[in-house]
Amino acid sequence: MDPNSLTFIFLNAALINNFVLALFLGLCPFLGVSAKKETAWNMGLATTFVMLVSSTSAYAINWVLTELEIEFLRLICYIAVIASAVQLVEMTVKKFSPTLFRALGIFLPLITTNCAILGLALFQTFREYDFLQSLAFSVGAGVGFTLALMLMAGLREKLELAKVPTVSQGAAMSLMLAGLLSLAFMGFAGLGGSHA
Amino acid sequence: MSASDQVPANHTTENQAPPQTPGIKMLITLGGISMLAGLLVVMVVQYTAPFIAENQRIAIENAIIRVIPGATSRKDFLLDSEGLKAGDQDDATGERIYAAYDDNGKLKGIALKAEATGYQDVIRILYGYDPACECVTGIRVLKMAETPGLGDKIAFDPEFLDNFDALEAKLNATGDALENAIHAVKHSNKTRPWQIDAISGATISSAAIGRMINESGQRMFPLIQKHLAELQGGQ
Amino acid sequence: MALPNQQEKVTLDTFLRGLWEENPVFVMLLGLCPVLAVTNSTMNAIAMGTATTFVLVASSTLVSLLRNFIPKQVRIATYIIIIATFVTIVDYTIQAISLDLYNALGAFIQLIVANCVILGRAEAYASKQKLGASVINALGMGAGFTIALLCLGTVRELLGAGTILGFPIFSANFEPWVVMILPPGGFFVLGAWLLLFEYLKQKRERTILENEGVPNGSQ
């Protein structure tokens, strides 16, 4: 598969270099929101949407900054745009689904400091993706993030019924689980074949 | 919340109609902070720019000396199908190549960058090409994210790097492409001088090196040979 | 932790809190992204810890100095701009010092801005306390963060490559446990550290209960 193709970029972001399990981005929500499948799914959706908005805005801003040759302001502009995107999503969710809004609680505004969103913007800039590639990248990242969150939630829900030593309850257990998931996802390396 | 040291105007926001001043105050604060931020950043960027440029220069020169044995000085050029141009022109197009000369001003070789996707992410190298022997003289990995202990051996495994001491890159009869495509073969299966013996257990990373040199060579070596006289007289 | 309206007197405790009781990584579980990503070697861990401490102290200083001038509604936005500024400064400084280090840390230098520890400190502490207390507290948090990074970095590098700071510790026969340098290793090592601390904490609580004459707890 051509490494610059949209399919490869999507698969790369979702599976091979999964944002949470391979790149270590977005760990706070991953450990905090993955207790129940329902909240995990909602968080994943909200994050994917914010990723799409941020990715597009970041692409536009980067274009402007490069034209004006003031790239050193990139970080400040990106974080400002992400904060605004989160505000936007927050207001939209509150208006269209108050139940969802209450379910997500504090985690919605916390998406601002979610390294996954900023990481997304930074990686797409470093790798110099064009507009369509950036879109594929952000959708892939969101899907991968949601996938990791759902897998974790499923595991943790099952574990609530099991006898777990008190020493490892809580974060230690989640991290061990995440390690196993990460190990499993390493199997995706090489997906897409060796490009001839 | 610390109400005591806040500006008095904010106290009343909860119970009455919002006063006009806070809006302006917010704007002034944000504007002021942004200006201060911009000032600080610009100052630091200006101050560190020469150091960063120096670091990059040293890094490139170290790499060039590694891949072209005997090189003591270098000159940058921009090369593409439209021609050879000096490397310091701002708006000229072309791929950047580094011509390396020895103490007597003789052209020892040309260093070029190449990149391709490896196992994990993009691998980028600097490699040397000697137009006289029509061969690759060495590679130096600039950037990679391969598996530590396996794929990352491409950067320092002596046996693998030996592949590139005199890797054949002869041009075909018409001089517009390589006669034999450079590629990697399975470990211990190397039979031709234009093949690369892959590291066992790191085939994908090794193959990426082969692919990128081939892709770059097919494109650039014919052009280099075409402008050889200019490059030799460059020093 | 000090009550919101109280101005805290600077004591040794202001600094020490960040090292153990309120360690940002092991206790508060904040700022985990760089902790796992950058600790595949001790050198990277030290560099990241130093960079984060610098941003933490610098932004806490500025926030504390300006705390009476920032209106409540825009405080988060202001803090974020301040933090982003210092992170950009650190980014360019590292490039000027060592390109190798810069390439090793990659995008995670810029991701310091998303580190919840810094924003959390600005919001919960520096915006309410005087300059001296804010700086000392930030130093403590930064030190605690760096120590946590070192804990992970040394273990991962030692088991995953047999070296510390590049110096080989084990003999040449040591077969490195490569998974430790890879992403799963980061999760496992942090989980192991948390397990250890939890075990020590529970053991201490049991000892305290025993000393007070209470029969052995819920175990």
The answer to whether the beta carbons of residues B195 and B184 sit under 8 Å apart is yes
Which residues does residue B96 pair with via DSSP β-bridges, in sequence order? B78
ipTM of the complex: 0.82
Q: Please state the domain extents for chain B.
A: 68-232
The answer to whether the Cβ–Cβ distance between C88 and A76 falls below 8 Å is yes
Please name the amino acid found at residue B49. A
Helices first, then strands: H and E counts in chain B: 4, 9
**End-to-end CA separation in angstroms for chain A:** 8
Strand B122-130: give its sheet, edge to edge: B83-86, B73-80, B95-101, B107-117, B122-130, B135-143, B167-168
Which residues face B100 on adjacent strands?
A: B74, B109
- Do residues A17 and B120 touch, judged by C-beta distance below 8 A? yes
Taking the Cβ of residue B177 and every Cβ of chain C, the question of whether any pair is shorter than 8 Å is answered with no
Query: How many whole angstroms separate alpha carbon C175 and alpha carbon A86?
Result: 47
DSSP state of B107: E
Measured torsion, CA atoms of residues A5, A10, A12, A16, in degrees rounded to the nearest 10? -140
Nearest CB neighbour to C78, from listed B7, B29, B48: B29
Render each residue's pLDDT in chain C as its tens digit; 219 residues. Answer: 444 456 667 777 777 777 777 787 777 777 787 788 888 888 888 999 999 999 999 999 998 888 888 877 777 788 888 999 999 999 999 989 988 888 878 778 888 888 888 888 888 888 788 888 888 888 988 998 999 889 888 888 888 888 888 778 877 777 888 888 888 888 999 999 888 888 888 888 888 888 887 655 444
Interface of B with C in 7-26 (CB under 8 A): 7, 10, 22, 25-26
**Reduced to 3 states, what is the DSSP secondary structure of residue B135?**
strand
Cβ A80–C77 below 8 Å, yes or no?
Answer: yes
Q: Is A72 on the interface with B (CB under 8 A)?
A: yes
CB atoms within 10 A of CB A45: 15
- pLDDT per residue over B81-136, tens digit each? 888 888 777 777 788 889 888 888 888 899 999 988 777 677 888 999 998 888 89
B150, B198 in Cβ contact below 8 A? no
Question: Minimal CA–CA distance to B216: which of B43, B48, B79?
Answer: B79
Largest Cα separation within chain C, whole Å, is 62
Give the C-alpha separation, A81 to A60, whole Å.
11
Cα–Cα nearest to A33, from A179, A146, A173: A146
Q: Which residue ranges make up each domain of chain A? A: 6-185
Q: Verify whether the Cβ–Cβ distance A176 to C187 is below 8 Å.
A: yes
Query: How, if at all, do strands B183-185 and B195-197 pair?
Result: parallel
Q: Which residue has the tokens 């040449």?
A: C172
Pair of tokens at residue A61: 């801003």
| pLDDT for residue A143 is more than 90 | yes
Q: Distance from C91 to chain B by nearest Cα, in Å?
A: 10
Q: Which residues contact C54 (CB under 8 A, 6 or more apart)?
A: C86, C90, C142
Listed in sequence order, the residues at least 6 apart from C166 whose beta carbon sits closer than 8 Å to its beta carbon are: C43
Dist CA A72 CA C171 (whole Å): 46
Give the bridge partners for B197, in sequence order: B185
Worst-scoring range by mean pLDDT, A2-16, B9-23, B121-135, C20-34? B9-23
Of A26, A112, A179, the CB nearest to C188: A179
Smallest Cβ–Cβ distance between C194 and the set A28, A171, A178 belongs to A171
- Tell me phi and psi for residue B107, to 5 degrees: -70, 120
Asked if C140 contacts C20 with a C-beta cutoff of 8 angstroms, the reply is: no
Measured between alpha carbons, how far is C38 from C111 in angstroms, rounded to an integer?
11
Query: What is the residue type of C90?
Result: V
